[in-house]
Amino acid sequence: MTPLSENSPAVEVVDLRRSYGDYEAVRGISFSIARGELFALLGTNGAGKTTTLEVLEGYHPPTSGRVRVLGLDPFTAGPQVRRRTGTMLQEGGFFKELTVKETVDCWRAFTSGARPTAEVLARVALEPKAGTRVSQLSGGERRRLDLALAVLNDPELLFLDEPTTGMDPEARRSTWHLVEELRAAGTTVVLTTHYLEEAQQLADRVAIMDRGTIAAAGTVAEVLSGRGDLISLPLPPGRELAALPELLGAAPSLTGGRAVYRVPRSAPALAALHAWAADRGVELDGLEVRTGSLEDVFLDLAAASPAAVSSTAVSSPVPLGASR
């Protein structure tokens, strides 16, 4: 067993490739995750996130490239890695006839160092459902049970594959709170999500996958840097507003009933816009300004590869596509 020094990364991926038959789902990606970091793997549908996660979790070997988790090869050293990691899969494999409490008791029986059942249920606010059969839980409650089981023994490294899918906004926020607490206690977290607000809220760093490669990576600020701000007005524009592309130095994209202009910085663009409007007595009704978001990065990826992204990306939190 290779020891993990304090400074070695919790996860190291070098030129990972993974094929299913002739189809290469992951095409040579590299990244590393420091201990205690929360890293979000984002991407379009079918981009290769789950495949990457499954290689990290030791379910598949890489087709080529090198992967280390807590200093170990997760495929050949599966049991050692699994003792120190927690995993919340997209689909939990529950016995549906057991109650919530029986499910936790059952998992505790074969997990060393597991927390007491009452504490586990309290962590995810499922105490009132302790006696309910798993088959009668809502989708969001089942995800909370999944999460409780993933953190049963306070893992050093936690894999969360779309943890809040199906949760209502309150449950989502309390899950974020729990994930933040775990991270504050030093847990490294690898998260995949289609909710971009979730990544913006939680992640120290993100990598955005598209068709098996990493299209952008860094802190959210780094990924957004240089992308500019967005100024938008409702459509149809008044006749005078036809001059705006020249004034703002950008042609608009037409989306959601609005003309959206991307400018390098909003402050000088707005000053020029208001001066221009005051000179001509033009009203700028419905003017909105916002900084760029991860959603914009996705919309750009969608424009480059329309088939890869669902068309539902409108407002946050936004599921950019359904789970497999």
Ligand X SMILES: Nc1ncnc2c1ncn2[C@@H]1O[C@H](COP(=O)(O)OP(=O)(O)OP(=O)(O)O)[C@@H](O)[C@H]1O
- Residues of this chain that interact with ligand X (CB under 6 A) are 20, 23, 25, 43, 45-51, 321, 323-324
Q: What minimum distance in Å lies between the beta carbon of 63 and ligand X?
A: 12
Q: Name which of 114 and 196 has its Cβ closer to ligand X.
A: 196
Q: What minimum distance in Å lies between the beta carbon of 257 and ligand X?
A: 28
d(CA 221, CA 239): 37
Q: What minimum distance in Å lies between the beta carbon of 41 and ligand X?
A: 8
Q: What minimum distance in Å lies between the beta carbon of 192 and ligand X?
A: 7
**3-state secondary structure at position 292:** coil
d(CA 6, CA 161): 26
DSSP for 216-273, written as a single string: EEE-HHHHHTTS-EEEEEESSPPGGGGGHHHHHTSPPEEETTEEEEEES-HHHHHHHH
Q: What minimum distance in Å lies between the beta carbon of 2 and ligand X?
A: 27
Q: Name which of 207 and 244 has its Cβ closer to ligand X.
A: 207
Contact 260, 232 (CB under 8 A): yes
d(CA 58, CA 37): 20
Structure tokens at 20: 């299913």
Q: Which residues of 298-322 are buried (b: 16+ CB within 10 A; e: fewer)?
A: bbbbbeeeeebbeeebeeebbebbe
d(CA 191, CA 198): 10
Q: What minimum distance in Å lies between the beta carbon of 230 and ligand X?
A: 26
Cα–Cα distances (Å) from 33 to 14, 67, 72, in that order, read 12, 12, 14
Contact 312, 298 (CB under 8 A): no
Structure tokens at 150: 């993933």
Q: Name which of 50 and 164 has its Cβ closer to ligand X.
A: 50
d(CA 104, CA 99): 9
Contact 79, 69 (CB under 8 A): no
Q: Name which of 47 and 203 has its Cβ closer to ligand X.
A: 47
Q: Name which of 54 and 156 has its Cβ closer to ligand X.
A: 54
Q: What minimum distance in Å lies between the beta carbon of 224 and ligand X?
A: 21
Q: What minimum distance in Å lies between the beta carbon of 49 and ligand X?
A: 4
Q: Name which of 49 and 262 has its Cβ closer to ligand X.
A: 49
Q: Name which of 21 and 169 has its Cβ closer to ligand X.
A: 21
Q: Name which of 47 and 72 has its Cβ closer to ligand X.
A: 47
d(CA 179, CA 188): 10
